[in-house]
Amino acid sequence: MKTLDRKLLRDLWKMKGQAVAIALVIASGVATYVLLISTMNSLTQTRDRFYQEYAFADAFASLKRAPDGLKSRISEIPGVAQVETRVSAEVKLQVAGFYEPVTARIVSVPDFGSPVLNRPYLRRGRMVAAWRDDEAVVSEAFAEAHRLRPGDSLDAVINGRWKRLRVVGIALSPEFVLQVRPGALSPDYKRYAILWMGRHSLGVANNMDGAFNDLSLTLTAGAHPDDVITRIDAILAKYGGLGAYARKDQMSHRFLTEEFRQLQRSADIFPTIFIAVAAFLLNVVVTRTISTQRDQIAVIKAFGYRNTDIGLHYVKLVALIVVLGIVAGLGVGAWLGRGLGRIYTEFYRFPYLNYQVQPSVAAAAAAINLLAALTGTLLAVRRAASLPPAEAMRPEPPADFRKTFMERLVPQRILSQPTRIIMRNIERRPVKALLSIIGISMACAIMVAGRFSKDAIDYMVEIQFRRIQREDMTVTFVEPTSRKAVYEMRRVPGVEHAEVFRSVPVVMRFGHRSYRTSIRGVEPGASLHLLLDEQFRHITPPRGGILLTDYFRTILGVRPGDLLTVEVLEGSRPVLQVPVSGMISQFIGLMGYMDLDALNRLMKEGSAVSGVYLSADSLHRHEIYRKLVQMPRVAGTLVREDEIRNFYETQAEALLFFTMVATVLAATIAFGVVYNSARIALSERGRELASLRVLGYTRGEISYIFMGELGFLTLAAIPMGFLIGKGISSNIAKALESDLYRIPVVIDSWTYSFAAAVVVLSAFVSGLIVRRRLDHLDLVAVLKTRE
């Protein structure tokens, strides 16, 4: 080993505390990057493989009913490769020992041979036998939630008739990787199931013998999905088509895509922060190291070492620290990635998850960090390398101090001498002080941004489930029903209040843009399900217009006063022009709201309703559920409290994971910045502090000078961290907003307090560690050293 390299290792050992603190920050950045990117890549690869092996379709359509013969017409559409028709039905389920309402989507599979598209992956048992009307394959998540095994039984109400089904297999499907009920925000494995049954039996039970109501297809290479969809819609219009859609709008696929976007966004933001902080810390530490080694550099140069030798020497120092961080970060990132992968497989149901850190990810993490670190230290190293030897031999000129701005503001007698020292130190190097403040504030910001999603979710639940949805249950009917159905509901013991609603599937068009959704007609005096305007004030739809979710401004470019074209996808399928009378706040989904009577009139359908909101006595809940299951016209029941509980349960683990990771990362940054600032302050001012001790200052007093500066920087950093944290949060929220959901930027005061506490505590601990050195300051030795 070269002698200079030996010096390097010993120098590094001497500054091990600082090196480790910086390496930790780098490790955090690398770990975050590896965690997010490798999880995303692993999920993407798994998804793509699953899609391919199990023939996930490129486009989908639902309709009321069409004869099987129509299939060939669809196959003839240019661009269509394979077509599969199915029967699909929404049913009520009853699971032994579980008293809450459960709904399921049953999808048909061919009686002979396996499906051409969207093939189930059979985890256990077998597929249904041909012609059997009492066998079903159950989705794995639901089976796990209820501990169902092949051989167990389920009761289903299929098209109004009870049917006992025997579970013969447990399966997964590329179509239901995320098994989420239409309109719900998160999967509910206990209360929503996917079932597969034989085509013949399911068709007979649903009056679909020789007919189908569900279509999926693949496209030939180069085919334009939009063209194909337009043609399919044209063909299916006669058959009650509900609008065909491409894979990108398929629910499970959309949720996965959104999740990847979130991972990618986080991978863009958080590692960047760590890299920036690490580069700053390296710059500070290397600059200081070089300044204390000025004379050594001079000697080495005097003996004929070249500028490049000196430069390389310090580049190696930086590289060693960075490599230390990278190695640790790769390990931790892979470990955390495995944990996150496990959490995701609870949520997203793949038959397998090949979690691996791709070499390219590791290489990218390493390269980005090395590059950033070297860029950060480039100037300091250059200055060291080009220091003229004769000048380097002389000690650095004393720092230039002056009275500070603050001192001029505050009367002299108020400020003690130590306080003035603190202030002058901060003001003398305002850029460094500012960068330190920014560095520490990043810790605070990461905490805020890391916990922001929890606050946002709390707020969404508060608005959505407590202020908008006040009903205890939402009951939907199999098909539009007379308003008289409400009387039947009110007679159910325990039901206190019932309000009807109408829901109509539509395509909304404005200009050249369109969106497939539904319009809900509500009663004017409704008290169970309220609408809130953009200022969260109660609003009712006027008789002559429509209220739209505020996000329609973005998605259709529509504003109050505009005339919206509405194509109804039900009944006589009228195309209507409806004036937009206002916008409403809604975080989940996109909808239009109209007065019930006005909607009925437009539909020319009398007093039809699609469902009922109920408030009920909780003591009678189970009885009510039982009654609802038995009512043939009831398609399904949603219970608000169950939804809230399920929502939190499914999110809880992921939230805890991210909070934990954010806390550790924030503490790392806070510690890294404060500890390094403290160590450098000690090295720069050890002499000065020791001199003060010699002059009779106590340990406490010099600690005040020393820690006071750090305390000031930390306290100044906290409000800035709040601001940056909020900025990052709204950046993430803005990037992720879509028609699926919009995340409000709401940050709880508790999150702010917690973030501040983590930062202050980390700063305090690192201050204490350095203070121990301060207490053991060797007065004589310090005074003797040449500065």
> How far is 575 from 439, CA to CA, in rounded Å?
58
- From the CB of 326, what's the least distance to other proteins, in Å? 25
Q: Which is nearer to other proteins, 202 or 310 (CB)?
A: 310
Rule CB under 8 A: say whether 307 interacts with other proteins. Answer: yes
Tell me 55's DSSP state. T
Residues 780, 783, 785, 786, Cα dihedral to 10°: -160
- From the CB of 776, what's the least distance to other proteins, in Å? 17
Q: Which is nearer to other proteins, 249 or 309 (CB)?
A: 309
Whether 244 contacts 215, CB under 8 Å: yes
- From the CB of 12, what's the least distance to other proteins, in Å? 10
> How far is 348 from 189, CA to CA, in rounded Å?
11
Whether 609 contacts 486, CB under 8 Å: yes
Q: Which is nearer to other proteins, 309 or 488 (CB)?
A: 309
Whether 8 contacts 313, CB under 8 Å: yes
- From the CB of 316, what's the least distance to other proteins, in Å? 14
Rule CB under 8 A: say whether 11 interacts with other proteins. Answer: yes
- From the CB of 367, what's the least distance to other proteins, in Å? 30
Name residues contacting other proteins, limited to 240-299 (CB under 8 A). 295-296, 298-299
Q: Which is nearer to other proteins, 402 or 538 (CB)?
A: 402
- What token pair was written down for 423? 């202030």
Q: Which is nearer to other proteins, 10 or 238 (CB)?
A: 10
- What token pair was written down for 213? 């109501």
Name residues contacting other proteins, limited to 12-51 (CB under 8 A). 14
Q: Which is nearer to other proteins, 391 or 534 (CB)?
A: 391
Q: Which is nearer to other proteins, 698 or 785 (CB)?
A: 785
> How far is 648 from 476, CA to CA, in rounded Å?
24
Q: Of 97, 222, 304, 411, which lies in the binding site for other proteins, with binding defined by CB under 8 A?
A: 304
- From the CB of 296, what's the least distance to other proteins, in Å? 5
- What token pair was written down for 89? 């039905």
Whether 688 contacts 697, CB under 8 Å: no
Q: Which is nearer to other proteins, 294 or 573 (CB)?
A: 294
- From the CB of 429, what's the least distance to other proteins, in Å? 20
- From the CB of 407, what's the least distance to other proteins, in Å? 25
Please, how many CA atoms are within 13 Å of residue 777, restricted to the half-sphere of its CB? 28
CB crowding 86-96: b at 16 or more within 10 Å, else e: bbbbebbbbbe
| Burial environment of residue 642 by CB neighbours within 10 A (0 to 12, 13 to 18, 19 or more) | middle
- What token pair was written down for 75? 């196959």
- From the CB of 11, what's the least distance to other proteins, in Å? 6
- From the CB of 51, what's the least distance to other proteins, in Å? 59
- Give how many residues touch other proteins by CB under 8 A: 26
Rule CB under 8 A: say whether 385 interacts with other proteins. Answer: no
> How far is 56 from 47, CA to CA, in rounded Å?
10
Q: Which is nearer to other proteins, 7 or 132 (CB)?
A: 7
Q: Which is nearer to other proteins, 321 or 638 (CB)?
A: 321
Q: Of 184, 364, 374, 393, which lies in the binding site for other proteins, with binding defined by CB under 8 A?
A: 393
Name residues contacting other proteins, limited to 158-217 (CB under 8 A). none
- From the CB of 398, what's the least distance to other proteins, in Å? 13
Q: Of 51, 305, 465, 657, which lies in the binding site for other proteins, with binding defined by CB under 8 A?
A: 305
> How far is 527 from 499, CA to CA, in rounded Å?
8
Can you point out the beta strands (E) in 79-234? 80-86, 88-94, 102-109, 121-125, 135-139, 153-158, 161-172, 192-198, 211-219
**Which among 518, 495, 494 has a CA at the least distance from the CA of 508?**
518
CB crowding 499-522: b at 16 or more within 10 Å, else e: bbbbbbbbbbbbeeeebbbbbbbb
Q: Of 301, 432, 502, 627, which lies in the binding site for other proteins, with binding defined by CB under 8 A?
A: 301
- From the CB of 19, what's the least distance to other proteins, in Å? 14
- From the CB of 378, what's the least distance to other proteins, in Å? 19
> How far is 164 from 612, CA to CA, in rounded Å?
28
What x/- string results for residues 335 through 374 when contact with other proteins is judged by CB under 8 A? ----------------------------------------
Rule CB under 8 A: say whether 303 interacts with other proteins. Answer: yes
- From the CB of 753, what's the least distance to other proteins, in Å? 45
Whether 294 contacts 768, CB under 8 Å: no
Q: Of 10, 238, 513, 645, which lies in the binding site for other proteins, with binding defined by CB under 8 A?
A: 10
Q: Of 234, 363, 390, 761, which lies in the binding site for other proteins, with binding defined by CB under 8 A?
A: 390
- From the CB of 318, what's the least distance to other proteins, in Å? 17
Handedness of CA 32, 33, 35, 37 (dihedral sign): positive
> How far is 686 from 689, CA to CA, in rounded Å?
5
Rule CB under 8 A: say whether 525 interacts with other proteins. Answer: no
Q: Which is nearer to other proteins, 302 or 563 (CB)?
A: 302
Q: Which is nearer to other proteins, 317 or 444 (CB)?
A: 317
- From the CB of 288, what's the least distance to other proteins, in Å? 16
Q: Of the listed pieces 57-65, 323-331, 385-393, 502-510, which binds other proteins according to CB under 8 A?
A: 385-393
Give Cα 699 to chain centroid, integer Å. Answer: 49
Q: Which is nearer to other proteins, 299 or 644 (CB)?
A: 299
Per DSSP, the residues of 700-725 read HHHHHHHHHHHHHHHHHHHHHHHHHH
Q: Of the listed pieces 193-201, 389-397, 579-587, 753-761, which binds other proteins according to CB under 8 A?
A: 389-397
Count, residues in the chain: 787
Helix axes of 640-694 and 749-775: crossing angle, nearest 10 degrees: 30
Whether 596 contacts 522, CB under 8 Å: yes
CB atoms within 10 A of CB 260: 16
Q: Of the listed pieces 5-13, 81-89, 342-350, 446-454, which binds other proteins according to CB under 8 A?
A: 5-13
Residues 6+ apart with CB under 8 A from 749: none
Q: Which is nearer to other proteins, 393 or 720 (CB)?
A: 393
Q: Of 59, 66, 300, 336, which lies in the binding site for other proteins, with binding defined by CB under 8 A?
A: 300
| Residues pairing with 756 in the sheet | none
Return the amino acid letter for 474. Answer: T
What x/- string results for residues 747 through 786 when contact with other proteins is judged by CB under 8 A? ---------------------------------------x
Helix axes of 359-386 and 16-53: crossing angle, nearest 10 degrees: 150
Return the amino acid letter for 487. Answer: Y
Q: Residues in the site for other proteins, rule: CB under 8 A? A: 2-4, 6-7, 10-11, 14, 295-296, 298-307, 309, 388-390, 393, 786
